[in-house]
Amino acid sequence: MTDTTQDPIYKTDALIAEDIDAYLQVHQHKTMLRFITCGSVDDGKSTLIGRLLYDSKMIFEDQLATLEADSKKMGTQGEGIDFALLVDGLAAEREQGITIDVAYRFFATEKRKFIVADTPGHEQYTRNMVTGASTADLAVILIDARKGVLTQTRRHSYLVKQLGIRHVVLAVNKMDLVGYDQKVFDQIVADYTTFADSIGIDAFTAIPISGFKGDNITGPSENTPWYTGTALLPHLETVEVDNTLKQQGPFRMPVQWVNRPNLDFRGFAGLIAGGTVKPGDEVRVLPSGKTSKIARIVAMEGDRDQAVAGESVTLTLEDEIDCSRGQVIVAAKSPLEVADQFESTIVWMDEQPLVPGRAYWLKIGAQTVSATVQAPKYEVNVNTQEQIASKTLDLNAIGVANITTDREIPFAAYAESHDLGGFILIDKMSNQTVAAGMIHFALRRAQNVHWQATDIGRDHHADMKHQKPAVLWLTGLSGSGKSTIANIVEKKLARMNRHTFLLDGDNVRHGLNKDLGFTEADRIENIRRVGEVAKLMTDAGLIVITAFISPFRSERDMVRGMMQPGEFMEIFVDTPLEVAEERDVKGLYAKARSGALKNFTGIDSPYEAPDAAELRIDTTEMTPEEAADLIIARLIP
């Protein structure tokens, strides 16, 4: 008979019964392993997780109570939690779409606590796998022994490598369905090794398992006498989770919020991303570069003598220097790089493709900035590692592209710091996360080009002209009357001795933008260039009048963001499509309707009307002269 007193579960239960305080003390100081299970559809992720929960016997109380109640209903009292019931419950969740996102399971053994991210295997949900893997220490990549290495296996493995997960377990599952054949296992491991070498995964642990039967999950299986390695759970219990590298590196802490409960206390709170900090240490705040020293380290339990990577604390400084959310406090002698242009790997996670040149929100650490992505340098074929030419990135595509932010930000290469080198992109209109990215390095031009200060500034230019700079941005369909109204506005302002310049959509395409077509990406670049020109003209003190279809809200907002507050006036020349078509002075609508003219706004390319324009002009109710007078009255009250 087996001696159950030597069973770790028995020892744990005995400790709970004898000394609950001692048990809680032991449990509190267990190390934590965060890992992800990933692979293709039906590789057995839910079954494996169910087996880990069932065999560890240490699932959290809410899961335990529910499952035990269901067991009693099914007449299994006295038998504990039924494994099939547990797996059925996890499978039911997936069928209901609960784990189409990422489901996190919590369990523990005598040696360690675990958080496992259960992510869907469907290709269209690769983005969810990225979410789960972003905080993982280890990846369990499942392979169905009957199917071998699949495209989704390669995609997930490539992402695991890109995301910097150091520990990889290749779990060849469903060995019971291939008769526990060692040749099948060895061939899969050989195939995977070839692929792993090609993407830079230097080492992984391969384990033949059956999640359903329990083979090699918690201990050696009699069905695989040819396998002499460690079972899965003991491996998870003993794999090193090494935070010492983070702690030994230079100090870095992104500021998540400024804590000021009273006038006598001003602290900067955040999660330490790297290094160690002590009171008296000299630090630098980036990107401003201001220096000070640490006065106090405040935590939940009170003041601390030291804090290390992975801990959340509040720091106070000896000097009253400017520091706010999104800035980074670093060791003064080991500052981060600061730049506004980067090369990055991007994992596109939205059903709408990347639009090069469009402005997205980029969130890195605790900071959010506006950023544009250039056309990809290349897209990666996850099967062959081939670099494919691509003008955009579609759902689940992985590519390399340059990114430009609207201001300099402190950063580290992702290989050095996941916290300071990883980012997400957010669509400005929908607020949906559309991509995850990893910074490689700052571009040389970002480091070598510096702003040259001049003695004569924009205020002096404006004072010389006795006017306030402004941008009058007329937007609307082709044929709406934008150019006509803009021309009248400029003539009226000229009579008032105002210094102006008119930028017309057709005119700039004869010179500045003659290389651009009418694709969505080219239209965005067209507006970006015009915005930059308009910005320079306002610096010169001019009133700039523009007449551009500018069909996309995000690009009009991008130009608004280039200007000084209050200098941008969006004027919606609101003319119904049928009225614009009736006018059709250039014959463009007729060409578009016949199919001779592609990507024409209002026909086969959308126009996004302004949500909150400063002025709306209804050309069916007022003449161009009246519209011009209304604009000038708004500009010069």
Q: Token match 């006509």: residue?
A: 484
Cα 51 vs. chain centroid, distance in angstroms? 32
Which of helix, strand or coil describes residue 526? helix
CA distance 468 to 540: 11
Find where tokens 């100081």 sit. 29
Tell me the three state secondary structure of residue 419.
helix
Torsion angles phi and psi, residue 491, rounded to 5: -65, -40
∠ CA 146-152-154, nearest 5°, is 95
Neighbouring-strand partners of residue 136: none
Three-state secondary-structure class, residue 180: coil
Neighbours of 415 (CB within 10 A): 13
DSSP β-bridge partners for residue 362: 369, 425
Which residue in the list 334, 370, 550, 605 is annotated as catalytic?
A: 550
Separation CA 622–CA 488 (nearest Å): 14
Q: Among residues 64, 90, 159, which one has the least CA distance to residue 437?
A: 159
Query: What's 4's DSSP letter?
Result: G
Residues 6+ apart with CB under 8 A from 595: none
Other Cβ atoms less than 10 A from the Cβ of 71: the count is 18
CA separation for the pair 65, 71 (Å, rounded): 10
CB 330 within 8 A of CB 286: yes
- The H helix count followed by the E strand count for the chain is 20, 29
Secondary element (H or E) of residue 197: helix 182-199
Tokens of 364: 């890195």
Give me the torsion for CA of 623, 624, 628, 630, rounded to 10°. 30
Count Cβ atoms within 10 A of the Cβ of residue 466 and give its class: 0-12 exposed, 13-18 middle, 19 or more buried: exposed
Is there a catalytic annotation at residue 550? yes
**Closest to 591 in 3D by CA, of 580, 600, 582, 602:** 600
List, by residue number, the catalytic residues. 550
